[in-house]
Each structure stands twice: as C-alpha cells, then as structure tokens.
C-alpha cells in the first residue's frame, strides 16, 4: 500500500505545476500595459481625426471588451482583433488571465469599476465555456437579446446603470431591429474629493 501511495504523492506536485504557472508575472502584466498604451494612443488619434468634440473614454475598457470578443473568435477574426489591440505578439490563450489580473488590481484599488456586455441576437447559440471566460476573466456578461423588442434597450441601459454605479441611466434610446450583436463597455472612475 505504501509503495503505491508514494508514486501518487510524487505526481501531485507535477500536476499542480501547470496551475501555478498560470499566474501572470509582473513582466507579462507590464507587457500587456505597454501594448494597451499603444492601442490607446492609436484609438485617441483615430477619434481625434474624425471629431473636434471633447471625448472621454477608457481605452482599457474598450480593449477589455474587444479582448473578450477575441476569446470567442478563431482564425482571421481572432488575428485581426489581436493585431488591432496590439496583442498579436502575446499568446492568445494567456490574454484572459492577464486581463483578469489587471481587473483585479483595479478592483482592489477601489479606483473604479468597469463592465462589458456581449449581447448577441437571442437565436445565436453561445458556448457555456465562453460565457464562463467572459464572466470570470473579463468581468462581463453574455446575454442573448431580441433586438426587435423594446425590452432589449431596457436591458442594455440597466447594464450600463449597474456598471457605472447608477450614474448613467441611458446609453441607448433605440435599437435597429436588424442588429445581430452589441458590445457595450462602461466605466466608472471614483475621483478623490
């Protein structure tokens, strides 16, 4: 009995090693931050080129939403999202863990709150493992909606209301009934008084 137990106990550390290796390193987080800064600069330049209005946005929240979409994509769609986000040099399988780590740091700081909603047409089937990744790694919500129903607008506005800690009551007033999917991102920053 002891001779059978010893090899089993010797294997337990080997089984645990991949779990420990999945924690993002400070270097990986720094790399994500640098790449996100590149995305932010390109995003701001693109917006500034089409409007003179004042614009306030959170590049991190935008990249969070697009990275969540990337986690459900494959092939050229995934590659285009990775390239657009300046994340193409990273292992796409590590990206959810990296974003979760950054989200956890922001949440612990009490500095703000962010959320994403991936809202496909109700008839679209979404894999439960993808829903789990969006919820646990990106802090988001995947919910099918009937965009021809006025209740879809209410659902979207309620998500924004929740994500912004009840500061934003309405983000959409009407939705095209032909809409196939919406990606919403919202952010709330707590300033110091």
Given this model, what pLDDT does residue 192 score?
Answer: 66
Contact 99, 138 (CB under 8 A): yes
Check if CATH label 3.30.590.10 holds for domain 26-189.
Answer: no
Q: How far apart are alpha carbons 4 and 9 in whole angstroms? A: 9
- Name the token pair of 16: 């645990």
pLDDT of residue 10: 41
Return the pLDDT at 193. 62
Q: Which residues in the chain show pLDDT less than 50?
A: 1-21
pLDDT confidence of residue 5: 42
How many whole angstroms separate alpha carbon 148 and alpha carbon 103?
Answer: 33
Q: What is the pLDDT of residue 23?
A: 84
The pLDDT of residue 165 is 85
Burial track 18-31 (b if 16+ CB lie within 10 A, e otherwise): eeeeeebeeebeeb
Whole-number pLDDT of residue 105? 85
Q: Which of 187, 176, 183 is nearest to 117 (CA)?
A: 183
Q: How many residues does the chain have?
A: 193
């Amino acid at each position: 009995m002891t001779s059978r137990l010893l090899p089993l106990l010797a294997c337990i550390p080997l089984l645990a090693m991949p779990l420990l290796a999945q924690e993002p390193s400070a270097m990986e987080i720094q790399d994500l931050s640098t790449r996100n800064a590149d995305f932010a600069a390109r995003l701001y330049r693109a917006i500034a080129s089409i409007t003179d209005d004042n614009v306030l946005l959170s590049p991190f929240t935008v990249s969070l939403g697009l990275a969540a979409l990337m986690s459900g994509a494959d092939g050229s769609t995934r590659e285009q999202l990775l390239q657009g986000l300046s994340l193409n040099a990273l292992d796409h399988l590590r990206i959810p863990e990296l974003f979760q780590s950054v989200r956890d740091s922001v949440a612990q700081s009490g500095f703000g709150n962010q959320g994403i909603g991936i809202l496909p047409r109700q008839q679209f089937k979404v894999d439960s493992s993808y829903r789990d990744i969006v919820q646990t790694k990106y802090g988001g919500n995947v919910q099918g909606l009937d965009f021809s129903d006025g209740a879809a607008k209410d659902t979207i506005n309620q998500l924004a209301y929740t994500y912004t800690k009840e500061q934003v009551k309405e983000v959409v007033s009407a939705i095209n009934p032909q809409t196939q999917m919406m990606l919403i991102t919202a952010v709330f920053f707590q300033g110091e008084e």
